[in-house]
């Protein structure tokens, strides 16, 4: 039994003072009481810790290295794709594990309790499957055992190189499976998850409309009756154009009419929607999984946050390419994109809730749905996913209520996060992951090997 006490905490009934929280040996919250005297370990401000709802761990090793341009001025993806293919020629399972552990550690230190891993690097160089089909998935689960992060593992179904059903290119063959081999891979991945801590979850992820044949998309969804389904959707203008010419509809229109998504579905990006798509998709109960830092980095476009919130849509946050892992920065980038587009301020705030509070509660709920995890609030019976903020820091000192989250989101950074628990596992203490040194050393040698090769 762990016992902690917070001067202030955000509960389901709003902000409370003198909050005592008891965590059972199973990692679940057992009791939450407010207006109590200090007892147990004492913290300034405790919040529920959200899930990071979208990540491709191995891409962390490419962060900051793809900012050059090639000879063709229209090809702004040149340096990104070139480096990605270089990595894909050589990256090993050992390196993937070291990178994933580093990514998960950074997620925890940023205040996330869960890594929803959209895992698509399955096979060896050239596309040759490993002796254990789920070797790479096993590397992700081994990393999660070391970091103590909550894990929702989504093996990705990736079949084609484009909407016309063309074969995979040389750079994509480590991702590819037909349905039969994917079923086996997903089964093995679920086995790995079931052998892990009890809070882990497995789902699936058809990669995108480009990578999965339309006729197979429904079949895949019907073959997996449990767990969340994630898919990239409507991220870039060329994707919209390709879908229009191949399927005669925009990607979200086509998905609405042919997949009939519901609350099991979680769509990544949605930066290319027209107002009627935003409204219809929000009403289905599907989650919009937004990755504002990566979407900025890739120049994807701006999600219609105002329209989506107005239609009652659900949102989650993910770090996607992991070019930078920062919860506070994802929140402010999302809100700032709305401000820059609309020439407005604090448009997501309501009479009852500030901008930061509304966004934070939204991603707690959406993140719980996307991770398919019993979390998202300080409430008995849920996993003890929590973060503590340093209220002695000058940016938070003497603040109350919503201003604590606003200052964390808009003025602060990850340095304000002192402690993080994932299903009761107290992995970040006094601002650092408890295994930081060894995880950093493993990551350092993995990227040294990779960088030596280009």
Judged by the rule CB under 5 A, the positions of this chain that interact with Zn ion are 320
Query: Minimum distance from CB of 246 to Zn ion (Å)?
Result: 21
Q: Which is nearer to Zn ion, 54 or 123 (CB)?
A: 54
Q: Which is nearer to Zn ion, 190 or 319 (CB)?
A: 319
Query: Minimum distance from CB of 120 to Zn ion (Å)?
Result: 9
| Extended strands (E) in 223-313 | 229-233, 265-269, 287-290
Contacts for 58 with CB less than 8 Å, ≥ 6 apart: 87, 91, 95, 96, 99, 100, 121
Place of tokens 């990544």: 268
Q: Which is nearer to Zn ion, 253 or 320 (CB)?
A: 320
Element (H, E) at 83: helix 78-90
- Write out the two tokens for 5: 């006490």
Active-site annotation holder among 207, 269, 402, 406:
269
Query: Minimum distance from CB of 265 to Zn ion (Å)?
Result: 15
Helix 237-247 and helix 251-258, axial crossing angle in degrees, nearest 10:
50
Q: Which is nearer to Zn ion, 137 or 439 (CB)?
A: 137
Active-site annotation holder among 199, 300, 304, 320:
320
Among 127, 122, 141, 274, which Cα is nearest to 207's? Answer: 122
For 421, half-sphere exposure in the C-beta direction (CA atoms, 13 angstrom radius) is 29
Active site residue 119: no
Place of tokens 């500030």: 354
Among 150, 36, 47, which Cα is nearest to 376's? Answer: 47
Query: Minimum distance from CB of 300 to Zn ion (Å)?
Result: 10
Query: Minimum distance from CB of 444 to Zn ion (Å)?
Result: 25
Query: Minimum distance from CB of 154 to Zn ion (Å)?
Result: 11
| Phi, psi of 122, rounded to the nearest 5 degrees | -100, -40
- Write out the two tokens for 182: 């994917």
Q: What residue is closest to Zn ion based on CB?
A: 320
C-alpha to C-alpha distance for 324 and 60, rounded to whole angstroms = 8
Q: Do residues 101 and 146 lie in contact, with contact meaning Cβ atoms separated by under 8 Å?
A: yes
C-alpha distances (whole Å) from 185 to each of 16, 25, 189 are: 46, 32, 6
Q: Which is nearer to Zn ion, 10 or 298 (CB)?
A: 298
C-alpha to C-alpha distance for 232 and 374, rounded to whole angstroms = 24
Query: Minimum distance from CB of 258 to Zn ion (Å)?
Result: 22
Query: Minimum distance from CB of 364 to Zn ion (Å)?
Result: 21
Active site residue 269: yes
Q: Do residues 369 and 266 lie in contact, with contact meaning Cβ atoms separated by under 8 Å?
A: yes
Q: Which is nearer to Zn ion, 291 or 348 (CB)?
A: 291
Q: Which is nearer to Zn ion, 121 or 439 (CB)?
A: 121
DSSP label of 128: P
| Phi, psi of 276, rounded to the nearest 5 degrees | -70, -30
Q: Which is nearer to Zn ion, 230 or 357 (CB)?
A: 230
C-alpha to C-alpha distance for 364 and 28, rounded to whole angstroms = 17
C-alpha distances (whole Å) from 12 to each of 362, 380, 385 are: 13, 11, 14
- Write out the two tokens for 266: 């979680």
> What torsion, rounded to 10 degrees, do the Cα atoms 182, 183, 187, 189 define?
20
Query: Minimum distance from CB of 54 to Zn ion (Å)?
Result: 6
For 112, half-sphere exposure in the C-beta direction (CA atoms, 13 angstrom radius) is 34
Contacts for 451 with CB less than 8 Å, ≥ 6 apart: none
Q: Which is nearer to Zn ion, 337 or 418 (CB)?
A: 337
Q: Hey, which residues are catalytic here? A: 269, 320
């Amino acid at each position: 039994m762990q016992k902690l006490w917070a001067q202030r905490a955000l509960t389901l009934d709003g902000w409370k003072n003198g909050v005592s929280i008891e965590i059972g040996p199973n990692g679940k919250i057992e009791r939450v009481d407010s207006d109590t005297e200090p007892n147990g370990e004492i913290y300034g401000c405790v919040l529920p810790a959200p899930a990071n709802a979208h990540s491709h761990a191995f891409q962390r090793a490419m962060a900051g290295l793809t900012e050059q341009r090639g000879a063709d001025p229209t090809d702004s993806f040149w340096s990104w794709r070139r480096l990605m293919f270089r990595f894909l020629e050589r990256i090993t399972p050992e390196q993937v594990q070291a990178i994933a552990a580093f990514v998960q550690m950074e997620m925890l230190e940023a205040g996330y309790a869960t890594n929803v891993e959209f895992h698509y690097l399955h096979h060896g160089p050239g596309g040759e499957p490993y002796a254990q089909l789920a070797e790479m998935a096993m590397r992700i689960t081994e990393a999660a055992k070391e970091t103590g992060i909550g894990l929702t593992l989504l093996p990705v179904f990736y079949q084609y190189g484009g909407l016309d059903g063309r074969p995979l290119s040389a750079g994509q063959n480590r991702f590819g499976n037909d349905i039969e081999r994917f079923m086996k891979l997903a089964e093995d991945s679920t086995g790995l998850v079931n052998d892990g801590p009890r809070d882990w979850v497995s789902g699936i992820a058809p990669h995108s409309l480009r990578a999965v044949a339309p006729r197979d998309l429904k079949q895949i969804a019907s073959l997996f009756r449990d767990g969340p389904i994630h898919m990239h959707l409507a991220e870039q203008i060329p994707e919209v154009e390709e879908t229009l010419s191949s399927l005669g509809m925009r990607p979200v229109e086509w998905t609405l009419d042919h997949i009939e998504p519901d609350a099991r579905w979680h769509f990544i990006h949605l930066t290319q929607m027209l107002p009627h798509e935003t409204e219809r998709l929000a009403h289905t109960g599907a989650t919009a999984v937004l990755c504002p830092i990566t979407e900025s980095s890739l120049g994807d476009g701006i999600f219609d946050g105002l329209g989506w919130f107005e239609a009652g849509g659900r949102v989650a946050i993910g770090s996607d390419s992991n070019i930078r892992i920062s919860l506070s920065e994802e929140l402010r980038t999302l809100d700032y994109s709305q401000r820059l587009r609309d020439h407005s301020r604090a448009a997501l705030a309501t009479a009852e809730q500030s901008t930061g509070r509304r966004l934070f509660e939204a991603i707690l709920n959406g993140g719980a749905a996307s991770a398919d995890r019993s979390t998202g609030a300080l409430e008995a019976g849920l996993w003890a996913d929590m973060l503590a903020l340093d209220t002695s820091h000058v940016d938070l000192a003497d603040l109350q209520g919503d201003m604590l989250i606003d200052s964390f989101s808009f003025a602060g950074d990850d340095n304000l996060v002192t402690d993080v628990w994932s299903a009761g596992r107290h992995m970040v203490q006094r601002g650092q992951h408890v295994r930081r040194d060894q995880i950093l050393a493993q990551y350092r040698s993995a990227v040294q090997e990779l960088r030596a090769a280009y």
